[in-house]
Amino acid sequence: MTKLSVNINKLATLRNSRGGNMPNVVQSAQDIEAFGAQGITIHPRPDERHIRYQDALDLKSVVKTEFNIEGNPIPKFVDLVLKVKPTQVTLVPDAEDALTSNAGWDTLRHKDFLKDTIGTFRENGIRTSIFVDPDPKMVEGAVATGTDRIELYTESFAKTYAEGNKEGIIPFIKAAEVAQKMGLGINAGHDLNLDNIAFFKESIPDLLEVSIGHALICESIYLGLENVVNMYLHRLQ
């Protein structure tokens, strides 16, 4: 079964919009785990506009499933990850002013930087994953960085699927085949939702984990958080 890691950034956005501590992201993470999710993901950004660095520290002793911290490995982020020592760190090449993640790493151009950064995390027992586009060359480049996994950036698939075109899955199948041959674990995320997740999972049989936040929280407004978590788990079986 592909694991579901729930990104709770949007819950933090809601909390920050009003001040105070509602919703409580720590309690929310515990509830999401109790509902059956196999992981919690956070993506702190330098301006802390949703998840705050303190949230990561607060969640450290609370998350009992897999804890995944995503972000651009600037020094402040690296220090945070080394303090928390989550199950997994996912490296994303976000610009500081990026609204959301919008591209994978150029693993050839940034090989040395990624290799050094990943080496630091692996020395501390932290599994590593890097965000990549569904490009076989970028997947091949990921191998040289020493990463354990890649996370396929799935926005293009989600866009074409919503338009009724299932051909958008083809680059992801090819990228996944390269990753599998080279011994890389495969994660995926970005714009996956209840409508497209089952097709994506069926097309990528070696998919280890999906990280879903924005869509899951939006769907939960209508359908309820516990119900939606279990709807994803059913589709990922």
DSSP annotation of 188: E
> Among this protein's residues, is 70 annotated catalytic?
yes
Q: How far apart are the first and last CA of the chain?
A: 5
Nearest to 43 by CA among 216, 176, 183, 211: 211
Please name the residues in contact with 181: beta carbons below 8 A apart, sequence gap of 6 or more: none
- Catalytic residue flag (residue 43): yes
* 190: CB partners within 8 A, 6+ apart: 100, 101, 153, 154, 155, 158
Given the residues 33, 151, 190, 219, select the one marked as catalytic.
Answer: 190
- Residue 222 token pair: 């209508």
Is the backbone of residue 36 left (phi > 0), alpha (psi -120 to 50) or beta?
left
The one catalytic residue among 43, 50, 209, 219: 43
| Active-site hit among 33, 66, 70, 209 | 70
Is 50 an annotated catalytic residue?
no
Q: Name the β-bridge partners of 210.
A: 4, 188
- 22 contacts 28 by C-beta, under 8 angstroms: no
Catalytic center residues: 43, 70, 190
